[in-house]
């Protein structure tokens, strides 16, 4: 038996990066997966996530075009999950990041960050929880960031949005526990993805060396490093775990 046999998962931002890694890991563990994103093609290249799942695993998958800033759009994702048996696992992963100067951030820029990183998580969790309460329970996993724990002056609105995701997860764990819905947050550190804005400069070798020197495990993370934790939180291995933040950063925050 695989860890997620019989489970149905919805993953936002599932076309690329961490979301793609989680969706693929879920399928490998037996879950059927609804891949949600504003774009179907992975930023890294290769086959779309849902096609790769169908080709490489025994699980079923479908793609739903989803803009997480539109709360009503989540119903299409939940309905797609119903076709597989109903949502058991919701991963609110979609997010954006950018470096910024606090004194120069405009109201529109701030609101855009909050609409995707926080509002999208809030209403994604709400849509899934409504279905989970009806069906007797489930697992909601919100992808935050280490910057939502310690903050970062180079990314103030991003840090604010991710800190809010952390405390939102605690609040939902408290409010939904009686209905059998577990809610936890994952806080990735430096993970190799293309989350940055289009056209952003590549990290230089010198910058990469400086970053790696701050990580006790001596390397940047990969999407599958986060995916392993997401599998744990989706499975019965974590059936008594809720209201938790799990940091996946190679030890970076433990000694800052």
Q: What is the mean pLDDT of residues 81-100?
A: 96
**139: nearest Cα among 59, 60, 239:** 239
Strand 181-188, strand 32-37: pairing: unpaired
Largest CA distance in the chain: 54
Q: Which of 4-18, 121-135, 167-181, 188-202 has the lowest mean pLDDT?
A: 188-202
Q: Is the Cβ–Cβ distance between 9 and 33 less than 8 Å?
A: yes
Q: What is the mean pLDDT of residues 63-85?
A: 98
* 224 C-beta neighbours (distance < 10 Å), count: 17
Active site residue 158: yes
Query: pLDDT class for 204, splitting at 50, 70, 90?
Result: low
Of the chain, the percentage scoring pLDDT greater than 90 comes to 89
φ, ψ for residue 80, nearest 5 deg = -65, -35
Q: Is the Cβ–Cβ distance between 69 and 119 less than 8 Å?
A: yes
d(CA 24, CA 57): 9
Q: Is the Cβ–Cβ distance between 116 and 8 less than 8 Å?
A: no
At residue 211, does pLDDT exceed 90?
no
> Sign (positive/negative) of CA torsion 105, 106, 110, 113?
negative
d(CA 226, CA 59): 20
Of the chain, the percentage scoring pLDDT greater than 70 comes to 96
- Topology (CATH level 3) of domain 8-255: Rossmann fold (3.40.50)
Q: Is the Cβ–Cβ distance between 39 and 33 less than 8 Å?
A: no
Domain layout of the chain by residue ranges: 8-255
User: 26, 158, 170, 240: which is the annotated catalytic residue?
Assistant: 158
| pLDDT (0 to 100) of residue 245 | 97
Sheet strands side by side (includes 181-188):
61-65, 32-37, 8-12, 89-92, 138-143, 181-188, 245-248
Q: What is the mean pLDDT of residues 233-242?
A: 98
Query: pLDDT class for 39, splitting at 50, 70, 90?
Result: very high
């Amino acid at each position: 038996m695989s860890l997620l046999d019989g489970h149905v998962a919805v993953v936002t931002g599932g076309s690329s990066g961490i979301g793609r890694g989680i969706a693929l890991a879920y399928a490998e563990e037996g879950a059927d997966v609804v891949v949600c994103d504003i774009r179907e093609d992975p930023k890294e290249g290769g086959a779309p996530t849902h096609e790769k799942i169908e080709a490489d695993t025994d699980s079923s998958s479908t793609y739903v075009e989803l803009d997480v800033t539109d709360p009503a759009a989540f119903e299409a994702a939940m309905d797609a999950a119903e076709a597989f048996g109903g949502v058991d696992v919701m991963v609110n992963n979609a997010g954006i990041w950018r470096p910024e100067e606090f004194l120069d951030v405009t109201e529109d820029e701030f609101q855009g960050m909050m609409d995707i990183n926080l509002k999208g998580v809030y209403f994604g969790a709400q849509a899934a929880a409504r279905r989970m309460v009806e069906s007797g329970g489930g697992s909601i996993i919100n992808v935050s960031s280490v910057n939502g724990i310690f903050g970062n002056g180079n990314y103030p609105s991003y840090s604010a949005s991710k800190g809010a995701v952390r405390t939102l997860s605690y609040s939902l764990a408290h409010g939904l526990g009686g209905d059998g819905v577990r809610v936890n947050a994952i806080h990735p550190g430096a993970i190799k993805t293309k989350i940055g804005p289009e056209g952003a400069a590549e990290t230089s070798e010198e910058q990469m060396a400086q970053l790696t020197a701050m990580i006790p495990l001596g390397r940047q993370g990969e999407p599958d490093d986060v995916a392993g934790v997401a599998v744990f939180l989706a499975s019965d291995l974590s059936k008594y775990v809720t209201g938790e933040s799990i940091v996946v950063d190679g030890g970076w925050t433990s000694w800052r």
